[in-house]
Structure 1
Amino acid sequence: MSALAAVASLRATETGRAERLTTVRHAHLDERPFVLIPLTLAGEACAPLAALAGTDPQRPVLLTVRQPRDRAERFRFVERLAALLLPYIEECRTAETETYTVGRGADKEERRRFLRAPQLLVPSGEGIAYVRLLGRLTRLRAVEGPYAVDLSVPALGKWLTWFADRAEFPGSCLLQAMTRLLSSHWATGQSPAEDSHLASLLAWIAPPDGQTGAQAAREAEEPLRFPPAGPATDPVFDRTLHDLMSRYDEAGDDRGREAVGRQIDRELRGQMLPTWELVWRGVDLLRELPVGAHVAERWTYDRRQFTEYATYLDNDGRPQARRDHAVGAARRLARMEEAMARYDAERAFDDPLVMAEYELAGEAFTGVVTARDEDRFVPGARAPVWRPTITVRSELPVRVAPRTKVKCPSRPGQPAEIVEVVPDSDGSTVTIQLNGGFNRARKPPALPGALAEVGETVTYTSVDPKAMPSVLPSEEDTPWTHGGPPEPYEPTDEDAEETWE
């Protein structure tokens, strides 16, 4: 927990209501997200028990497995889930496309991407783990042979695995857990472990009239009113479910079995419906927040990733391997690290509350422009070049060292460099050299707004959302010292034999 988050948590304890950690929303929310509330059978990692799913808050679709230990019923559950999710994905694929350019110069290439991408919302981080495991257990299933499954089963498994893979990249919004979304925008007066309970988290953010967040959270922890958000079930409910399933197995005829089955359906729906409503309540709360400037850019990249994977399935269609090879794992780790650094920097540029964390860490500072030198030139390779400076007065000590490259969030296209930092008892005076971004002017005067005005409050930071990522060779160019180019993955019969437990 960061220093500001700790302060916000303490303040939430004092005020009785969650405190904002951000001034804007840093995540994309689709107009029609697909919400999935899963339940699993107690004692088994991914044995599906039930799910509420769909895109309409008022009409969730109930999927149940009346006997989860029956392998055939498990796969029928997956088929019904595929019948809901795959058409939603296909709807995004049939949307209009737009053209974009990759590369530069001779390597420049035009590509197309969909204008829409699917967004999957689950209640908590455990829901993301469920999606990953369900994808692993279905994407490699054989569609021919003695244990053949419907074609939709491995198709769904590939997409679920892709969703789970993208969820590991910071900033991606293709698969999101509602508890993580809310806790990244609000600080409560409870522990991070308690924030993983959706009902109590929302109780702190929007408590009922006349109650504090702590009071409302205590009531929200009552499993009879707000059952667990899944995929685990409440132990008390497990006893009821066990009795019903025993009666279902012991029923003497189809009519009796169907009557008990309908009762099982009602009980399971009752367990998931409160969580379904809480997820959509969280969506409404997040939609009330203004959107950060970089959110649309990150969603554009998500749409690009969706387009590329859909194209891959059309052209190749092989499922993801059970394990990454060494080269793929190294490249994936590098991409995740780059995504983390870029996401943190973009959030800071979009949000002064996030930037305050960097000021505490000595990687940024805020001050008032007290002077500027518009006629300053420095020696260049062939001729003097125009390098104006501004002087910024900060009321706090500035720990950014001279010669550090910095940028201003209000002028992200203007690179700058610290020339001098003069500390005193009341703060610091910083001289900053501007190295470009003058609206194409190469000598004074600059166009209005290109340079910060005297009296303007500015923030400068050493973090840069446009920093160049590390460059790794393509897989086919992997040197022999690292094993050479890896062999493409080919599914085997053994891959399809993984037990569903």
Structure 2
Amino acid sequence: MSLLTTVATLRATQTGRAQPLATVRHHHLDDRPFALVPLTLAGEACAPLAALVGTDPDHPILLTVRGPRDRRLRFQFVEELAALLLHYVEECKAEVETYTVGRGEKMEERERSCRAPQLLVPNGEGIAYVRRLGRLTRLRSTEGPHAVHPHVPTLGKWLTRFAEQAEFPGTSTMLAVSRVLTAHWATGQSSAEDSHLAAVVAWIDPPEGLTGAAAARETENPLVWPSAGPATEPGFDEILDDLLTRYAEAEGRVRERIGERIDRALFEQMRPTWDLLWRGVGLARTLPEGGHVENRWTLDRRLFSDYAAYLEEHGHPQGKRDRAVGAARRLARLEEAATRYQTERAFDDPLVMAEYELTGQAFSGEVVARDVDRFEPGSRSPKWRPTITVHSEHPVRLPVGTAVRSPARPGQPARVIDVTPHDGTHLVILELSGGFANKRKPPPPDGTLADVGETVTYTDLDLGSQPAKLPAEEHTPWTHGGPPTPYEPTDEDAEEEWA
């Protein structure tokens, strides 16, 4: 937990109201995301029991397994989920746009979807459920003694894809709403309690007349606010077990009536969480979208289009374990994504940048002087290198020679050329070396350079980080097993247990 997050948490505890951790929203929220609120059978890690799904906040679609120990009914549930989610994915694939990559002779046109599917779940446990359900379905065979509907393994591949993308910081392909909220607000409770969506929403938007702390305490009553899943409440398990037992023993119309009671009980258990999920989305949408969010969503759309094309061309499922090069490439991409996301958040959000000022990676101050007539000798002609002098009220820990940039002018590189203590403060001279319309003479007063009296922020954070270059999987060296063959599900995979 960072220093500012700790302070915000303490202040939330003191005031009884969640405190902002950001001034903008750092996740993309689609106009029509697909929501999934799952429940599992008690005692089994991924045995499906029920789910509320859909894109309409007011009309969720209920899917249930009235006999959750029956393998046939479990796969019937998966088929119903596949029909809905795969239809949503196809809708996102329908409209495409053309974009160019490369330069000069290497320039080529490619296509990507104008939309990408976005899957919302209540909490982090929902992401874990999607990952397990993806593994249990993507490897199933559509032929032989354990054959399933062709949509089942296709759904598993997409669920696995959603869960894999959720691990990358900055992606918006799959989001846990509780995590989105706690990334933008600090509550006065523990991180473990922050996984309870009802409590998080209560801290951020308590009912009139109550503090966030008091409202959060009321959400501890499972009769009013059931668990956000996928695990069920012990008290509800007793009611459900009785209904399931009676359903298994009954026949005909009696059995159908008991099945309808099971459906009603499950719907009532999940509906509060469904409403909370969309209420959380509404709270997140009150924040304006950060400047770099659209770029990250464009990347999500491209990756979605690439994976959809891969499935159409090859269709191989993800393996149970990453291969050598694949694991290394994935780790490098995760590290690069984390670095890029943290940097972009800081450039988009002054509240996030303040944390870097505390650690010495950034500083803010007022421009007190500038030299627009400064030139340096060049190989052919003098180079225009203007400077600005920034007066910072706080210590500046960046050493001379550090390359820095300002969020206000990210395309204008600068370099610290002098740091001078001044009456307990610091004067910093920065040399500017880019972002000019003409590099050989001063520009007109159009805002290209920071003017005297302007407050600026500079940091050594780099927006241009790139992942490590690693060989393609087909070039895996013999020391790591050589080029891998595409993963093919086996009969053993098709028989894998749900638990």
The TM-score with structure 2 as length reference comes to: 0.98
CA RMSD of aligned residues (A): 1.3
Question: Please, which moves more after superposition, 463-472 or 174-183?
Answer: 463-472
| 3-state SS of 2:109 partner | strand
* Residues 379-423 of structure 1: per-residue CA shift (max 9 Å, x gap): 323332111111100000001111111100000111111111112
1:471 matches 2:469: yes
Displacement of 1:132: 0.5
* Change beyond 3 A, Cα 1:245–1:472: same
Residue aligning to 1:382: 380
Residue aligning to 2:232: 233
Distance 1:468 1:386 in 2: 29
Displacement of 1:482: 4.4
Letter of the aligned partner of 2:160 in structure 1? T
Distance 2:411 2:484 in 1: 40
* Counterpart contact for 2:140–2:489, Cα < 8 Å: no
| 3-state SS of 2:66 partner | coil
Displacement of 1:255: 1.2
1:90 matches 2:87: no
Residue aligning to 1:372: 370
Distance 2:329 2:105 in 1: 25
1:353 matches 2:372: no
Residue aligning to 2:242: 243
1:212 matches 2:211: yes
1:176 matches 2:160: no
Residue aligning to 1:164: 163
Residue aligning to 1:36: 36
* Counterpart contact for 2:165–2:174, Cα < 8 Å: yes
Question: Percent of counterpart pairs with the same letter?
Answer: 66
State the aligned residue count.
Answer: 499
Distance 2:369 2:131 in 1: 56
Displacement of 1:142: 0.5
Letter of the aligned partner of 2:461 in structure 1? V
Distance 2:480 2:444 in 1: 52
Q: Structure 1: which 5+ residue stretches go unaligned?
A: none
Distance 2:375 2:189 in 1: 56
Distance 2:159 2:17 in 1: 36
* Change beyond 3 A, Cα 1:74–1:349: same
* Counterpart contact for 1:327–1:486, Cα < 8 Å: no
Spell out the pairing of 1:62-141 with structure 2 (5 A cutoff): 62-95=62-95, 97-141=96-140
| 3-state SS of 1:400 partner | coil
Letter of the aligned partner of 1:462 in structure 2? D
* Counterpart contact for 2:292–2:344, Cα < 8 Å: yes
Displacement of 1:447: 5.8
* Counterpart contact for 1:377–1:387, Cα < 8 Å: yes
Letter of the aligned partner of 1:217 in structure 2? A
1:292 matches 2:285: no
Distance 2:485 2:105 in 1: 30
| 3-state SS of 1:184 partner | helix
* Change beyond 3 A, Cα 1:258–1:417: same
Distance 2:48 2:222 in 1: 21
Letter of the aligned partner of 2:328 in structure 1? A
Distance 1:334 1:178 in 2: 27
| 3-state SS of 2:222 partner | coil
Q: Structure 2: which 5+ residue stretches go unaligned?
A: none
1:398 matches 2:392: no
Distance 1:417 1:451 in 2: 14
* Residues 451-496 of structure 1: per-residue CA shift (max 9 Å, x gap): 1101110000011222333222322344445444333323333332
* Change beyond 3 A, Cα 1:380–1:469: farther
* Counterpart contact for 1:124–1:177, Cα < 8 Å: yes
Residue aligning to 1:17: 17
* Residues 35-63 of structure 1: per-residue CA shift (max 9 Å, x gap): 10000001100000000000011110000
* Counterpart contact for 1:67–1:245, Cα < 8 Å: yes
Alignment counterpart, residue 325 of structure 1, candidates 323, 326, 333: 323
Distance 1:440 1:472 in 2: 38
